[in-house]
Chains A and B, each alone.
Chain A
Amino acid sequence: MSDWPQGGGHVRNTVFAPQAEVLAYLMVCNYTGAGAAPGQNVATYVPVTIEKPTTVTQISYNVTTQSGNVDVGIFDEARVQLVSSGATAVAAAGIQTVNITDTLLDPGAYFVGISFSSATAACTRLAAATQVMKAGGIQQESSAHPLPSTFTALTTPVVTFVPLLALTTRTTL
């Protein structure tokens, strides 16, 4: 159990990344988008703030084009990997739920990372301009499949790609 004070209320069954204020920012900037390929071996790291101690068991996203492998993981604010799934085959179109080692996150800022081995694989995302992504705290890294132990953020992202990711605390989403 976390040493962090528990406080009132219940832990959410899912925590969405990007966090709400980043998503609101991207929407008011008029960035929408359906599925798109993020680019081969390009990792995208999406910020999320955890409000209560939360044990994450799975990471989910929506596949729009099946191809190659995906790796998903969680990084702390110092960009150090806490957990990742390792290379996992991209599922058929629809929500793919990827198991990770159950990981307790204390309240704080984290990044949820995703990278694909194939330039064809695609998932639901927002198509924000790369400069706007960076100003929202969204990071990218080239040659990052599988996800690294510590990521190094590019000064400017290379792909207009903000995946919609869910950290879940249950075995079903």
Chain B
Amino acid sequence: MAAWPKPGAGPQAATPLFINSMMPHFFQYQARLGAGAAAPASLNWANANSACLLPFRLPFAYVIRRFFWINGSTATSNVDVGVFTMEGELLGSLGTTAQSGSGTIQYGTPSSSIPLEADTPYFLAFACSGTTSRAWGYSNNVVMRLGGGLRIASAMPLATNPTLVLTAENFQLCGFTRTGSGF
């Protein structure tokens, strides 16, 4: 590994409070730009108990203390959110969590905070046990695939070293914060 410091890797880097899957740190962002902008909305989940994996890379070190997502109009399922390495190792996750509140943001706190290294690619994973109108995202599987998105067929709860396959899921709106509370 190069001894040269990674940009923004030091403890003095100023980092944002909120990072979500539709920001430029996520690889699907450019695919979304190329496919044309569109407003996210409450969507069906393609396959019950499956997970979508959204690749991203941050230019700074970051510590995840909460995950969030936007519940759809039918918030009656269980979800799980976590972070995997590119090799499929689960670094941390919420565990199975009941949805609460239709059409609103929902936060979940992992049992341990999850440190991410600067300039290192990871997957953010979102899994859902139901299908109809469960969460917000883009209804565009092409953007997911061209942006390097993958899928876990059976993912409730998320587990380490799953089999990663081509995705059939939509582009999910979810993310994480470095704050444990306050918003």
Our pick among A22, A77, A131, A139 for the contact of B103 (Cβ within 8 Å) is: A131
Residue numbers in B under 8 Å from A25 (CB-CB): 20, 22-24
Our pick among A28, A47, A108, A134 for the contact of B29 (Cβ within 8 Å) is: A28
A78, B180: Cα distance in complex, Å = 11
B residues 24-56 near A (Cβ < 8 Å) are 24-25, 29, 32-33, 37-40
Cβ distance B153 to chain A, nearest Cβ, rounded Å: 27
A92, B11: Cα distance in complex, Å = 44
Residue numbers in A under 8 Å from B136 (CB-CB): 131-132
B residues 87-142 near A (Cβ < 8 Å) are 101, 103-105, 136
Q: Is A21 in contact with B182, judged by CB distance below 8 angstroms?
A: no
Query: CB of A137 within 8 A of chain B?
Result: yes
Residue numbers in B under 8 Å from A129 (CB-CB): 39-40
Q: Is B12 in contact with A4, judged by CB distance below 8 angstroms?
A: yes
A27, B38: Cα distance in complex, Å = 9
Closest A residue to B101 by beta carbon equals A155
Q: Is B20 in contact with A135, judged by CB distance below 8 angstroms?
A: yes
Q: Is A19 in contact with B105, judged by CB distance below 8 angstroms?
A: no
Contacts A28-B37, A29-B37, A129-B39 given; does A108 touch B104 at CB 8 Å:
no
Q: Which of A29, A30, A131, A136 has the largest count of B CB atoms less than 10 A from its CB?
A: A131
Our pick among B16, B23, B182 for the contact of A153 (Cβ within 8 Å) is: B182
Cβ distance B89 to chain A, nearest Cβ, rounded Å: 27
A126-151 vs B, CB cutoff 8 Å, 1 = contact: the mask equals 00010110111101000000000000
Residue numbers in B under 8 Å from A22 (CB-CB): 16, 18, 23
Our pick among B29, B38, B105 for the contact of A135 (Cβ within 8 Å) is: B105
Query: CB of B2 within 8 A of chain A?
Result: no
Our pick among A27, A135, A155 for the contact of B18 (Cβ within 8 Å) is: A135
Closest A residue to B104 by beta carbon equals A156
Query: CB of B15 within 8 A of chain A?
Result: yes
A51, B173: Cα distance in complex, Å = 27
Query: CB of A88 within 8 A of chain B?
Result: no
Number of A-B contacts (CB under 8 A): 95
Our pick among B23, B70, B174 for the contact of A21 (Cβ within 8 Å) is: B23
Q: Is B14 in contact with A109, judged by CB distance below 8 angstroms?
A: yes
Cβ distance B26 to chain A, nearest Cβ, rounded Å: 10
Q: Is B104 in contact with A109, judged by CB distance below 8 angstroms?
A: no
Closest A residue to B18 by beta carbon equals A137
Our pick among B15, B39, B70, B174 for the contact of A109 (Cβ within 8 Å) is: B15
Give B contacts to A, CB under 8 Å: 12-20, 22-25, 29, 32-33, 37-40, 68, 70, 101, 103-105, 136, 173-175, 177, 179, 182-183
Give the 4 A-B CB pairs with smallest separation, nearest first.
Answer: A137-B18, A30-B37, A107-B14, A134-B105
Q: A21-B16, A129-B40, A132-B173 are in contact. List 13 more A-B contacts (CB 8 A).
A: A21-B19, A28-B29, A77-B179, A107-B12, A108-B14, A132-B136, A134-B183, A135-B22, A135-B174, A136-B18, A136-B20, A137-B183, A139-B183
Instruction: Jot down 22 A-B pairs with beta carbons below 8 A, ordered by A.
Output: A5-B12, A21-B25, A22-B18, A24-B29, A28-B33, A29-B39, A30-B37, A31-B39, A47-B18, A49-B14, A51-B14, A79-B182, A109-B15, A131-B70, A132-B40, A132-B136, A134-B104, A135-B70, A135-B105, A135-B175, A155-B101, A156-B103
